[in-house]
Structure 1
Amino acid sequence: MRVVNVSEMRDIEQRAERDFGLTSEILMDHAGHSVATSLRERLGGALGAARVLVLVGPGNNGGDGRVMGSYLSTWGAKVLYYVWREQRMEPGVDESWMPSGAAHEPAPGGELAAALMTCTVVADALLGTGTSRPLPDSMREVLDLVRREKERRPDLLLVAVDLPTGLNADTGQVDPGTFRADITVTLAFPKLGLLFFPGAGFVGELQVGGIGLPAELTIPPGPELLDDPVIRRLLPPRPLNSNKGTFGKVLIAAGSPAYPGSAYLVAAAAGRTGAGLVTLAASPTMAPIYAGKLSEATLHLMPPETEDPKSRAGSLLAALAGYAALVIGPGLGQSETTGAFLLAVFAGLQQMSKESRPRLLVDADGLNNLAKSERWWERLPEETVITPHPGEMARLQKGTPVSGGEIDRLDTCRRAAHDWNLILVLKGAHSLIAEPGGSISITAPGNPALATAGTGDVLAGAIGGLLAQGLAPYDAARVGVYLHSRAGLRVSATIGDAGLLASDLLPELPRALHAVKVDD
């Protein structure tokens, strides 16, 4: 699903009117109907007993709120309006074109507190995407009244029309007066600011409501929010007449005496995302540990860690025949010999033909060791997937932290993927996936349950398993990140946002994949 900024949304609406005759009033009617429909679905049979207070501001956002209230009223809800009148209402925002049958019961400023005490839903339609300035004090006072009532009555449902008032649709910055919505029904397309922190923390459940844009209206390429329909189109087929070779083989070089769990998590995740065969490259000291933990994986026995790094690299490279993917790096450590081993592996991969070379994913210590080299990206084959967290990204950028706002993070990711000619997964509260051609995908903000050791290993394995099944590297990265996020949500829905172990994600990966397939 395309993600837009304010100027892009304005251009889309202008072209809709110019090329298709969709006036602002027509778009507003669709928008209000969409928000009302979302609320009706949320309330279900309780709609008839609902008392909805609509906070109406100047401009089209206020108009969307009025239309929403009109539809809810005709469907049986009791609707009241509080119209913020410090500024003159803009032309076109009136009631002359609103659906018939609406009950308009104003809640004057002096009665706002009383109206809040009796309502069950507050709909915020004060300001939309076109405002980035600080909120007037009088508007902050209105929002503060709502916030205090929510504290008093946690079951009060707060709905934001398009976005919470005071949230910058481009940057995600929020005004001190902004309150946290339970639901945000954004219109036409998600806005960047709804996905970036701190704004993402004020959105609640994000829904997208249509505004009647025709399918023929061309939407230029840009950032994409990953969702079920996008991922469903990318999933590899699973034909009935299949065998393990059909779904590809992945070789994993991970783990060490200090980090034995990394290898297990990577290998198990690769299997849980559908790889036909998972093989772990293991030294004599580590092989018994892995064999006891991973019943389904096979082992490639490597020379001891004490042997020459180039000899160990040669053993790994020789084992790659017939393998579609190689995941390397997690838990290997950062010793000098490990660094030499990795560089020898990468050099050998570059000497292979593109047809015989497996897809490559480098994570964790693979990246930390690479970062010690100048122009490290030149050591990697084209279409390599790298999966740094912010600290690793800073090391890859030679000490330059991923700083500034979230827009800077987006630009950094897109530019780095281009400059390094790699598929880049920049992990975080919402991960970014970019490819050299300029395409970039965004995951919806995740959950704090994933902020624990080993979840990155699970992600690396998930992507590796998808690479083994033949997905293009950018697509494998997008699907892997999305399934990893959904698996985390499934676990946290059961145990909450603390106490998740990385291994808890493993059984949820295939369930998340199945849920995407069946549109659950």
Structure 2
Amino acid sequence: MGSQQHEHLMSLVNELIPPVSGKLHKGQAGRIGVLGGSGDYSGAPFFSSMGAMRFGADLAHVICEPGAGAVIKTYSPDLIVHGILDPSKSVEEVRSELEGIMSRLHVMVIGPGLGRSEHMQNFAKVAFELAKKMEQMGVVVDADGLWLVQNDPSVVLDWPGVPRVILTPNIMEFKRLCQKMKIDDSAPPKTLCPELARSLQNVTIIQKGETDIVSNGRPIPSEFLQSEGDKVEILESEVRGGLKRVGGQGDILSGSVGVLLAWGSEWVRGSYEHIGHPPPKSKGIADNIPLLAAYGASTFNRTVSMRGWQAKGRSMVTGDLVELVGPVYEELFGAAEDSPEKRRLRNE
């Protein structure tokens, strides 16, 4: 994909971002939940939720095991931590508490630090069930949330309306999903992503790899493409990432894609019209917000990784990347005080 096509797509991603305005109240610029955080994995939900906060979300909730919650609270007072995923509680007890929390969120990220224990997998399944019933609730799935999808694909099927679900599998997770859905994973990579998305009823997938491939299994809308003759089913993010892979980099991706999905969904609903940012007139854009959010977050995350690598080299750790979220956001999307009009002019 050429640089002009990339710049055009990033100009569309810019449109997801609400202007900074004193007329917005706390929470309107993104309320993100992260469901994960088992006993052995307290770092992943922190990186996902703090990545979301640094990207621009107003509020981030971490929903986790009690033991993990006690630890995560020591990482940052900025996070709202709910240690309700208690193995001593019944699924119905947790369902009631979880429903109360999720009713206040725009997007739920399911998977960072979730683990594969029976009770955590069951609680995650409840989160999927609740999300399907909540109008405009978006879901991002990573790590052991994908393990649940692999074992029970029904959790992402039968979504009402346009699926507001984004999966972020790495190479092995993608391979296992293909095998579960009886897709020949030896086929060309650029055909696999749309085929897997179709098999899962057109969820959006970020197929992470040397380049990231994004697809929902449908033809890419003409509004996304510079050439009217193009007939493609994938967007490919060829922005170079860093040369060291650190555990937690994918968690920052899940947080940033969650924020873009929240902003885009609220934009379509008209939540930002009163601050001079009316909803899109194009149905092609309105119906493909997850696709734009996925492409934008992929580009962002790969750039964060490269800046971390350039600064730290082999010593790079995920904590370094969290600190780069703000600077890289401004590099790609401009300063916070920029208006949508200024952002459009800068990207034309």
TM-score band w.r.t. shorter chain: 0.7 to 0.9
Match of 2:193 among 405, 409, 413: 413
Does residue 444 (structure 1) correspond to residue 230 (structure 2)? The answer is no
Alignment match, 1:483: 300
Does residue 432 (structure 1) correspond to residue 248 (structure 2)? The answer is no
Q: CA deviation at 1:337?
A: 2.1
Q: Aligned with 2:32: secondary structure?
A: strand
**Whole-Å separation in 1 of the counterparts to 2:242 and 2:183:** 22
Inter-CA distance 278–377: structure 2 relative to 1 (3 Å threshold): closer
Alignment match, 1:258: 40
Match of 1:286 among 68, 83, 88: 68
Alignment match, 1:237: 18
**Whole-Å separation in 2 of the counterparts to 1:277 and 1:470:** 16
Does residue 302 (structure 1) correspond to residue 84 (structure 2)? The answer is yes
Alignment match, 1:512: 328
Q: Aligned with 1:432: secondary structure?
A: strand
Q: CA deviation at 1:279?
A: 1.1
- Does structure 2 retain, via aligned residues, the 8 Å contact 1:310–1:341? no
Q: Aligned with 1:425: secondary structure?
A: strand
Q: Aligned with 1:245: secondary structure?
A: coil
Alignment match, 1:270: 52
User: What letter matches 1:230 in structure 2?
Assistant: S
Inter-CA distance 480–341: structure 2 relative to 1 (3 Å threshold): same
Alignment gaps of 5+ in structure 1: 4-189, 191-206, 209-223
Q: Aligned with 2:126: secondary structure?
A: helix
Q: Aligned with 1:285: secondary structure?
A: helix
- Does structure 2 retain, via aligned residues, the 8 Å contact 1:418–1:438? no
Residue correspondence of structure 1 range 72-83 to structure 2 within 5 A: none
Does residue 460 (structure 1) correspond to residue 276 (structure 2)? The answer is no
Q: Aligned with 2:50: secondary structure?
A: helix
User: What letter matches 2:106 in structure 1?
Assistant: A
Q: CA deviation at 1:379?
A: 6.2
**Whole-Å separation in 2 of the counterparts to 1:428 and 1:404:** 15
**Whole-Å separation in 2 of the counterparts to 1:397 and 1:404:** 10
Alignment match, 2:102: 320
Inter-CA distance 450–380: structure 2 relative to 1 (3 Å threshold): farther
- Does structure 2 retain, via aligned residues, the 8 Å contact 1:226–1:441? no
Cα distance per residue 1:402-422 (max 9 Å; x no partner): 8547xx111111222233210
Does residue 495 (structure 1) correspond to residue 312 (structure 2)? The answer is yes
Q: CA deviation at 1:376?
A: 5.3
- Does structure 2 retain, via aligned residues, the 8 Å contact 1:266–1:460? yes
Q: Aligned with 2:116: secondary structure?
A: coil
Q: CA deviation at 1:432?
A: 1.1
Q: CA deviation at 1:445?
A: 4.9
Alignment match, 2:149: 370
**Whole-Å separation in 1 of the counterparts to 2:158 and 2:85:** 24
Inter-CA distance 450–237: structure 2 relative to 1 (3 Å threshold): farther
Aligned length: 295
**Whole-Å separation in 1 of the counterparts to 2:260 and 2:238:** 21
**Whole-Å separation in 2 of the counterparts to 1:495 and 1:303:** 36
Q: CA deviation at 1:429?
A: 1.7
Aligned-residue CA RMSD in angstroms?
2.6
Residue correspondence of structure 1 range 13-162 to structure 2 within 5 A: none
**Whole-Å separation in 1 of the counterparts to 2:175 and 2:39:** 27
**Whole-Å separation in 1 of the counterparts to 2:56 and 2:251:** 16
Q: Aligned with 1:398: secondary structure?
A: helix
Does residue 332 (structure 1) correspond to residue 111 (structure 2)? The answer is no
- Does structure 2 retain, via aligned residues, the 8 Å contact 1:270–1:466? no
Cα distance per residue 1:404-453 (max 9 Å; x no partner): 47xx1111112222332101111112111112422221111533435221
Residue correspondence of structure 1 range 331-370 to structure 2 within 5 A: 331-350=113-132, 352-353=133-134, 355=135, 357-370=136-149
Alignment match, 2:173: 392
Q: CA deviation at 1:345?
A: 2.3
Q: Aligned with 2:247: secondary structure?
A: coil
Q: CA deviation at 1:374?
A: 5.6
Q: CA deviation at 1:365?
A: 0.3
Inter-CA distance 436–311: structure 2 relative to 1 (3 Å threshold): farther
- Does structure 2 retain, via aligned residues, the 8 Å contact 1:250–1:277? yes
**Whole-Å separation in 2 of the counterparts to 1:226 and 1:429:** 20
TM-score in terms of structure 2 length: 0.76
**Whole-Å separation in 1 of the counterparts to 2:147 and 2:32:** 22
Inter-CA distance 375–250: structure 2 relative to 1 (3 Å threshold): closer
Cα distance per residue 1:197-252 (max 9 Å; x no partner): xxxxxxxxxx77xxxxxxxxxxxxxxx54678536633402233234323021111
Question: Alignment identity in percent?
Answer: 22
Q: CA deviation at 1:386?
A: 0.8
Task: Please tell me whether Structure 1 or Structure 2 has the larger radius of gyration of its CA atoms.
Answer: 1
- Does structure 2 retain, via aligned residues, the 8 Å contact 1:226–1:482? no
